[in-house]
Structure 1
Amino acid sequence: MESGSLDNEAPPPHGALGTEISDPETRQKKCQEEIEKYVKEQHNAGGDICLARFLADKQGFVAENSSKISNYKAFWRHSFGRIVKKLGVRTAKGKANWKAIEASINKEGEPSSLTSSASKTLSGTPLSAKVLEYVNEMYNSKLKYPKWQLSTGKIVEDTMHAFAKECLYEHSSLSLILDISDPCWKAHFTPAELVELRTYHKPELKPLPNELKEYLDKFSGVYDLNKLIDIHMQNRFHPSQADLHWVEKTIGDILDLYYYSYDVDNKTEADLVRRLWGFIEKCYDESKFYVISGEKVSVSSSNRMNEDRSVPGATPLTRKKTGTKVDILIKHLYDDFGVGEAGLSGGAVSTKYITEASIKLPKSLKDVLWNLLKMATKDTQQLCVPGFIINGTELTVKLMDIPSGNACRVYTLGPMPFPLIPETFFKNFIPLVTLVWQWSTQRQSTSGACVGARGARPRGCGVRGRGHGHN
């Protein structure tokens, strides 16, 4: 096709967005008209034209018009291909993120977990009126427990609700999550109130045992690789000394990386997780917990999404919704006790890191907490769920608890760098091994607060019904 502007005018669609269309021919025509309008706008603006970008930019529209199509992927591929062929425009390459579309369909058009791999992340997707309506209903009438009142008289949930009303895009407060490291709260709480939010019923992390501290102190002030290896070779521990054996193996693995000049710049995400961060999984070797990795569906997320699923009688049984997929799960038997996300690089200011650390991971942690609360037999303040983000050579840890009222509080620790050279071994390794050991022992406290056998009386998670602000 000759270069030049395409006509921006497109025939008006049959029915406004959000209107139910039962006639397949009418639905198909409406979708093709929307595609044609989009392609023309992209062409005139000089933007890339591809199915992946269309699906990302028009996710709500696509999800809304896919729920009653058995093979919706083929429908959109065929429709998009037909329109671009009709207009004679060239298309760019792009990987369609069907998982995000499926998530939106499962969640009735609400924003998904911000994991789009297309050209436009979902963090830039405006909130729908339906989401905002649900959030207001949640704060106004679905809170299960008395609200958290600070010593100044300020009500935490009311303050969060006031901020949530101002949100045009996704934020953790829409899910009743209070991330105390989020700078937005400085404008809504005084410095003294922020201290109270941080310290009230703060989770107690155990200090390292003396024998571990004494062993690690042997490496203090040592920067030469051969001397580090000598100290390691002179101090070996039997597997029955679980903590010492774990730390000793971890140090040996790190020293091997130094000795064999392991190149972290020429590795995949899976390589770095396995070689640099494998000690996280090995920390649970002698415990009743285990770690699985590789984009697995969170059972907690699936349980929460399908909590109200039943045989309705008058209508067909609804399709089971797919839970959120995470990169790493800490489990005991069937239940999740922690989650993790892994990325290759980009730093703490990258879009992927910010969206996963600020929204996806906290919401996944709340699913885990919600599921554990159903089994809790003791004070819910004893429950604390860990999450972590591996961002190349950095580790960030988040801890979630419910100190009072209904809000889920999130602490952020890090990011902490991996010790990449012998000169930084002691300085960077001690915080990492300490925190990993602490959160592994915290799991024991959380497990102890939950009933041994499954099927305890449900207790909820601050909100009656779904127990989650929005999906």
Structure 2
Amino acid sequence: MAMNSSVTAKSFRKKNCKRLVDEYVSGCKENNNNPSLKQFVLQELVHIAELTDIRQNPAGFWTVIFKKAVEDAEVEGVFEEEIDWALISAQRKKSEKPIPTSSSSSPHPPTASVTSRPTTTTKKSSILMSKEALDEVKNNYEKVIESGLVWELKSGRIVEQVMMDYSLGLKYEHPAHSLILTPDDPLYAEVFTEQELEEIGDFNSIDFDQKLPKDVHEYLYSFLDKKTLDGISTVIYNKTFKPLDQPDLYWIRKSIEEVVDLYNMNFFDSDYIEDDVEYRVWPFVFKCFDLTEIRARSGKRKSQASSARHNRNRTLPAHGATTRHRVGEQPDMKCSYLNYELGISEVALKDEGENGSKELHESSIRAPKMLKDFLTNIARERPSILHSIKTAAFIISGLHMSVIVLDCPKGSVCRVTQSERAAFPLHPHVCFPSLIPILELAYRTRLYLLDTVAAIKGDKTVVSLGKKGKKRASTSVPPPCITTTQSSPSSSTSTTSSKSDQQSSKKQKQQ
């Protein structure tokens, strides 16, 4: 028994070590920095000391894990810097405070806790727009305006023209640089009138208010007045549904049953990790698509559309080596229909509020650009359904979730609509007034993506193949998102000068 406990503890420690490294490498990749083993050790020294087994060789142990994480992320790591591994032993001598957990015997609804180690401290800093990037933005807008595929408002103003004038005056990257417009963004109050913003938001609006099928609505609301585990379980086990015959009702029943399991095991009384957030708290998000034509797969799936954008200017050079192939964005979950990418989820362990750095970055820049990559990829093959395409992202921060839907309702600008933020209920007493709207939101988001599937299946337009690069007079597709560049912070001095020179030459990388 003691041996099993020892093996479990060792496995748990190794898993947390891997997670610590993966988060650091992922953060460096998002900011276009080369992951440095020395920087990682210095930055995460406290947590490394907590996780390191004193019987192991820390240099060998952490180097192996770090190399594997860098290899999996397909980035180039920095290993040649001299590291003082004795720092770990010194740190271990300092007093360690245990991570408290709340008591499961508390009579009050529990307050969920998460592991005390904060997310890797890489900054989601704004990217300064270079002259070349602004020239690309201007060129993209001018091509759109010249094509005539624009959105003219009742006031007579052209949305794309207004956004071009506005975006060219911005010093840091903003969605407007990629022809992405969020009508609720407070910055646009200085650009459009209130009436114009209402017109933009209301045209073929995304309201998350589609009418649910009668049987779905009735079954969901049959749980509304249940406030005890026994009462909820009675309703669950009163009815069973066949997944192939009644997929929606089966999904609802299964989702509620899994929530009850969390309550029964007092899940929210203890610490948990990011995988728990995705696979234990919010599993019904990706399971919502299980019995549809849309495939939802988790596990950091690479986006082909995002990769295509990052590499669209990659060619064989006349002089020097070929530039490295850029890996596309890797969301936590990706929804696809056939070879078309439709949606994603982005999951974070910590919740710092909707204006926290990570959620603000994910919902304002990263996810919208990915969703536009999906939309333009579909429209490039099927331009006739441009204004019918919808892509979506689930933004999950701990126990809160919201959804953003991106579409191109008119002209060439892509519009982002965000749902209200939902909080996961932590106790049966308050469960269903919160859980029902969450399940409705997931279901309605699925309906939007199924609208896109229907548009793809119903498209009968034939686009003849011609010479590569030839402009098509009859169709027009919005230009891709811009790919900005950012300087990486200077690396620490290398023990080998030639290696240092190689690193300094790689300070500018594509995002």
Cα distance change of structure 1 residues 214 and 355 upon mapping to structure 2, 3 Å threshold: same
Residue pair 1:175, 1:468 contacting (<8 A) in 2 also: yes
Q: 1 CA distance for matches of 2:194 and 2:258? A: 43
Which residue does the alignment assign to 1:99? none
| Pick aligned residue for 2:141 from 121, 129, 139 | 139
CA contact (8 A) 2:149 2:412 kept: yes
Which amino acid letter does the alignment assign opposite residue 382 of structure 1? S
Whole-angstrom CA distance in 1 between matches of 2:387 and 2:330? 27
Q: SS in structure 2 opposite 1:423? A: helix
Q: 1:438 aligned to 441, 444, 452, which one? A: 444
Displacement of 1:404: 1.1
Answer yes or no: is the 8 Å Cα contact 1:296–1:326 preserved in 2: yes
Match of 2:232 in 1: 228
Q: 1:386 to 1:323 in 2, by over 3 A?
A: same
Cα offsets for 1:291-325 (capped at 9, x unmatched): 12222221111123334555578887654322122
Q: Which runs of 4+ in 1 moved over 6 A?
A: 52-55, 312-316, 452-455
Change (3 A) 1:145 1:330: farther
Letter in 2 for 1:137: N
TM-score by length of 1: 0.71
Aligned to 2:311: 306
CA distance in 1, matches of 2:269, 2:371: 29
Aligned mates of 2:215, 2:322 — CA distance in 1: 57
1:122 to partner: Cα distance: 4.1
- Give 1:264 deviation, angstroms: 6.3
1:166-205 deviation line (CA, Å, top 9, x unaligned): 3222211111100122111122222211110101122476
1:347 aligns with 2:353: yes
Q: Aligned partners of 1:325, 1:449: CA distance in 2, in Å? A: 26
Q: Hey, what does 1:210 align to over in structure 2?
A: 214
- Report if aligned partners of 1:145, 1:406 keep a CA contact under 8 Å in 2: no
* Cα separation, 1, equivalents of 2:365 and 2:151: 22
> What is the rounded CA distance, in whole Å, between the counterparts of 1:412 and 1:288 in structure 2?
24
Question: Does the 8 Å CA contact 2:223/2:235 hold for their aligned counterparts?
Answer: yes
Q: Does 1:191 align with 2:203?
A: no
Question: How many Å separate the matches in 2 of 1:256 and 1:118?
Answer: 31
Q: Deviations over 1:189-227 (max 9, x none)?
A: 222111101011224763110001111121122222221
Q: What does 1:378-417 align with in structure 2 at a 5 Å threshold?
A: 378-417=384-423
Partner of 1:47: none
Contact 1:269 1:343 in 2 (8 A): yes
**Which of 177, 181, 202 is equivalent to 2:180?**
177
The one of 237, 246, 266 equivalent to 1:241 is: 246
Distance 1:258 1:175 in 2: 44
Question: Does residue 365 of structure 1 match 2:371?
Answer: yes
Counterpart CA distance in 1 for 2:436 and 2:366 is 28
Structure 1 pair 305–453 and aligned structure 2 pair: CA distance change class (3 A) = farther
The Cα of 1:158 is off from its aligned counterpart by 1.9
Tell me: CA distance 1:387–1:375, structure 2 relative to 1, closer, same or farther (3 Å): same
Distance 1:173 1:265, change over 3 A: farther
Pair 1:462-2:478 in alignment: yes
Secondary structure in 1 matching 2:129: coil
Change (3 A) 1:339 1:461: farther
What is aligned with 1:284?
289
CA distance in 2, matches of 1:456, 1:246: 39
How far off its partner does 1:411 sit?
Answer: 0.1
Contact conserved, 1:400 with 1:410, CA < 8 A, in 2? Answer: yes
Q: Which amino acid aligns with 2:328?
A: G
Structure 1: give runs of 5+ residues left out of the alignment: 1-49, 56-70, 85-92, 94-116
- Matched position secondary structure for 1:167: coil
Deviation (angstroms), 1:456: 5.8
Range with bigger deviation, 315-324 or 377-386: 315-324
Partner of 2:264: 259
Q: Which amino acid aligns with 2:311?
A: N
Residue 423 to residue 382, structure 1, CA distance change in 2 (3 Å): same
Other structure's SS at 1:450 match: helix
Shift of 1:457: 5.9
Structure 2, unaligned runs of 5 or more: 1-37, 44-74, 85-90, 92-118, 466-474, 485-511
Aligned residues: 370
Q: Could you give the per-residue CA deviations for residues 106-128 of structure 1, whole angstroms, max 9, x where no partner exists?
A: xxxxxxxxxxx875524244222
Verify the 8 A CA contact 2:124 2:357 in the aligned structure 1.
Answer: no
In structure 2, distance between residues paired with 1:334 and 1:394: 30
Whole-Å separation in 1 of the counterparts to 2:166 and 2:383: 34
Cα pair 1:145 1:462 within 8 Å, conserved: no
**Which amino acid in 1 is paired with 2:306?**
S
Match of residue 129 from structure 1: 131
RMSD: 3.2
- The 3 A distance-change label for structure 1 pair 460 and 336 is farther
Q: Spell out, residue by residue over 1:124-159, the C-alpha distance to the aligned partner (whole angstroms, 9 max, x if none).
A: 442222222222222234555432111011221122
Report how far residue 401 of structure 1 moved. 0.5
Rounded Cα–Cα distance in structure 1 between residues aligned with 2:308 and 2:464: 15
Displacement of 1:378 in angstroms is: 4.0
The higher-RCO structure (CA 8 Å, 6+ apart) is: 2
Match of 1:36 in 2: none
CA distance in 2, matches of 1:191, 1:142: 25
- How many angstroms apart in 2 are the aligned matches of 1:256 and 1:421? 11
The amino acid across from 1:126 in the alignment is L
Q: Give 1:405 deviation, angstroms.
A: 1.1
Residue 377 of structure 1 deviates from its aligned partner by: 6.1
Structure 2: distance between partners of 1:419 and 1:376: 42
